[in-house]
Amino acid sequence: MARVTVNGVQKVYPNGFKAIHGVDIDIADGEFVVLVGPSGCGKSTLLRMVAGLERVTDGTISIDGKVINDLEPAERDIAMVFQNYALYPHMSVYNNMAYGLKIRGLSKAEIEDRVKKASAILELNEDLLIRSPRQLSGGQRQRVAMGRAIVREPSVFLFDEPLSNLDAKLRVQMRLEIKKLQERLGITSIYVTHDQVEAMTLGHRLMVLNEGRVEQLGTPIELYERPASIFVAGFIGSPAMNFMDAKVGSDSRSIDLPGGERLPLNGTGAEAGRPVTLGIRPEHLERASGQEGVAHLNVDLIEHLGADSLVHGHFGNDRTDLTVRVQGTLNMGPGDTFDFSVAPDHLHLFDPQSGARIA
């Protein structure tokens, strides 16, 4: 196990494109950190720099205080699990897991002991160990890829979108297995994904990247409850947060919505009359009627999901779109009116120009 420190790391390619803009993070021994963001944000590039597959242009990467910038991947005591499994098709499952140990010169007895222990952890029985990768399901192949990493007994695990090729049900299952595995082994882990649900469920902390810059670093709950920017607020949470143009009321204790409706607002320090971007999560819009602080949504579509329903509609003269998440089914349809209110604690205010959260 190890502590990983990334200090002022930048990546600039020969054509001048800057993929990573000065990233800093200190990952504690045994911590599970998830790098999350849309495609092209730099998360895989950052992971590959930790692995030694990409050169660091500026800054340093350290493991337990030792700078590893110039070390070859094999010298870094890391193990990486790839999106495409990267298994040797002509080798059995056992030999795929054992190969890295053989080239390191471990004894046959030590190799067999490590492979057996990893197989037990991942529930890979003897019948599976003699098969070739093409005889395995996607989930089994991913287990073998993780087993190959486990037998190395590395200081750091690196995961590069390992579940992207699996179907939805299997992704949930494998996500739980990775979580339990990391907690059981206690190995420092860095995990890359574009799936915010994976990020929220797996990570002790999340780093949200946007165009090579860190938008926010914190626990899943911190990012959900107090997103630092419009980008983070829109990326974390499913369904995505609703956004609309609004204005702080004349008393600074309310927020004026499009169409003239008004919701109560806790004191924020925002000056009266200030234009803001208002963010409200779909699950925080509550059905209400006949009271102050109620707005009226014109229903366009309802999605019944079983335990929940999503109400899509619009309100105000500019037909601001809004999504509401309610429990259970809803006996409504297009053209109906859905009256809603929001607790003041669940209103998020952002600066329209910078996108930054208004404290």
Categorize the per-residue pLDDT at 134 as very low, low, confident or very high, splitting at 50, 70 and 90.
very high
Are 27 and 63 spatial neighbours (Cβ–Cβ below 8 Å)? no
Tell me the average pLDDT across 181-207.
93
Instruction: Look up residue 309 and give its amino acid.
Output: S
- The whole-number pLDDT of residue 73 equals 92
Interval 33-55: pLDDT, tens: 999 999 999 999 999 999 999 99
CB count within 10 Å of CB 83 equals: 17
Whether the predicted pLDDT of 348 surpasses 70:
yes
Tell me the average pLDDT across 237-247.
92
Are 223 and 37 spatial neighbours (Cβ–Cβ below 8 Å)? no
CB count within 10 Å of CB 173 equals: 13
Listed range (316-320, 332-336, 355-359) with the worst mean pLDDT: 316-320
Distance of CA 30 to the CA centre of its chain: 18
Are 105 and 182 spatial neighbours (Cβ–Cβ below 8 Å)? no
- The whole-number pLDDT of residue 143 equals 85
- The whole-number pLDDT of residue 293 equals 64
Tell me the average pLDDT across 338-354.
91
Residue 148 has φ and ψ, to the nearest 5°, of -60, -35
Q: How far is CA 342 from CA 115, 139, 282, 315, 346, in A?
A: 55, 42, 10, 15, 7
Whether the predicted pLDDT of 322 surpasses 80:
yes
Residue 254's Cβ-side half-sphere holds a number of Cα atoms within 13 Å equal to: 14
Categorize the per-residue pLDDT at 303 as very low, low, confident or very high, splitting at 50, 70 and 90.
very high
Token pair in block for residue 35: 């790098």
Cα 355 to Cα 208: distance, rounded to the nearest angstrom: 15
- The whole-number pLDDT of residue 11 equals 97
**DSSP state for residue 257 in the 8-state scheme:** P
Tell me the average pLDDT across 134-142.
87
Instruction: Look up residue 112 and give its amino acid.
Output: E
Residue 231's Cβ-side half-sphere holds a number of Cα atoms within 13 Å equal to: 18
Whether the predicted pLDDT of 241 surpasses 80:
yes
- The whole-number pLDDT of residue 308 equals 92
Q: Inter-axis angle of helices 138-150 and 108-122, to 10 degrees? A: 140
- The whole-number pLDDT of residue 258 equals 79
Whether the predicted pLDDT of 290 surpasses 70:
no
Tell me the average pLDDT across 194-219.
95
- The whole-number pLDDT of residue 291 equals 64
Are 205 and 190 spatial neighbours (Cβ–Cβ below 8 Å)? no
